[in-house]
Amino acid sequence: MSAIQVKKQHTLTGHKDSLYTLCRWNETTFFSAGGDGMVVSWDLTNPETGQMIVKVPNSVYALAYSEEHELLVVGQNFSGIHLIHVESKKEVGSLKLTGASIFDIQVTSDFIYVATGSGHLYQVNWDLQLVNTAKLSEVNLRTIAVAPKATELAVGASDHYIRILDAKTLTVKKEYKAHEISVFGLRYHPQMPVLMSVSRDARFKVWDIDNDYALVEEVVGHMYAINHLDFSPDEQYFATCSMDKSVKVWDAQEFRLLKVIDKARHAGHATSVNKLLWMDYHNWLVSCSDDRTISVWEIDHSN
């Protein structure tokens, strides 16, 4: 395994409150949103100036973009979802769903899935019709992962459980206690038949899909809660981010730590790092934080 070199390329500013989410638009452009209700697009070919796409009255924890439908889904806390045509910056529809927080949104060709603080998972079609609702927990649903063929969903909750659902009917196929505290992030591995989870317990775990989601790996990854993970475009690495203010880069096959990105060594974030987005453009890794900034990192493993 080649050595990992990290160089900070940009610090992007302009948001007025904590940043909670990032979402890819295309190979060079992404969206950010947070406590100020602003959804901003950033072009990495000219990143210093963001463009506001829309502003909603409440904080935004979750965004999802559909290339097929050319629509951005914005989750407005305590309200519902908004569909935004990005090029025109026009809202083309909205749906009042919930009085709770919206913690995650994932999309497929057919559906929009919305995870909420009331423990409900909502399934909405692209005509903004509510198709199905599943009450999965008495506490927050924090994260959704869509399986590679979009036949299953994994949903992580603050009751420490992961639930595996049929993506069409929302029938629960399996549920199991995964962590000792809230499950904050889930991702299906792009090359291996495993589901990865990160948690407020500072661990990431690896679950064998072909063996009834048996635990195959557990790593204490950070000092405090792990908020999110994302894979590199070449699928050889993944990164985690944490309430401990750091970002870590790992080998995606052996789950070995390769690099720590923090304030002392790399002028990293001053507070909790909440979300990651590993972009195709120059292999740049994007992170956002409670410190109201976005950092853009060049991750070089060519040497």
**Which range of residues forms the domain containing residue 166?**
21-238
Tell me, yes or no, whether 233 lies in a domain. Answer: yes
Q: According to the model, what pLDDT value does residue 38 have?
A: 97
C-alpha 63/C-alpha 144 separation (Å) is 12
Biggest distance spanned by C-alpha atoms of the chain? 51
Tell me, yes or no, whether 302 lies in a domain. Answer: no
Tell me, yes or no, whether 64 lies in a domain. Answer: yes
Tell me, yes or no, whether 292 lies in a domain. Answer: no
Half-sphere exposure at residue 108, Cβ-oriented, CA atoms within 13 angstroms: 18
Q: How many domains does the chain have?
A: 1
Q: The CATH number of the domain where 166 resides is what? A: 2.130.10.10
Q: According to the model, what pLDDT value does residue 137 have?
A: 98
Q: According to the model, what pLDDT value does residue 303 have?
A: 53
Tell me, yes or no, whether 299 lies in a domain. Answer: no
Tell me, yes or no, whether 204 lies in a domain. Answer: yes
pLDDT along the chain (303 residues), means of 10: 83 97 97 98 93 96 97 96 96 96 98 98 98 98 96 98 98 97 98 97 97 97 96 97 97 96 88 97 97 96 67
Q: According to the model, what pLDDT value does residue 1 have?
A: 41
Q: According to the model, what pLDDT value does residue 109 have?
A: 97
Alpha helices in 194-255 (DSSP H): none
- Entry pTM: 0.96
Tell me, yes or no, whether 15 lies in a domain. Answer: no
Q: According to the model, what pLDDT value does residue 182 have?
A: 97
**Tokens standing for residue 46:** 């000219």
Look-up of token digits 């901003």: 40
Tell me, yes or no, whether 106 lies in a domain. Answer: yes
Beta-sheet pairing, 29-34 with 284-289: unpaired
Q: In what order do the strands lie in the sheet with 120-125?
A: 102-107, 111-116, 120-125, 130-135
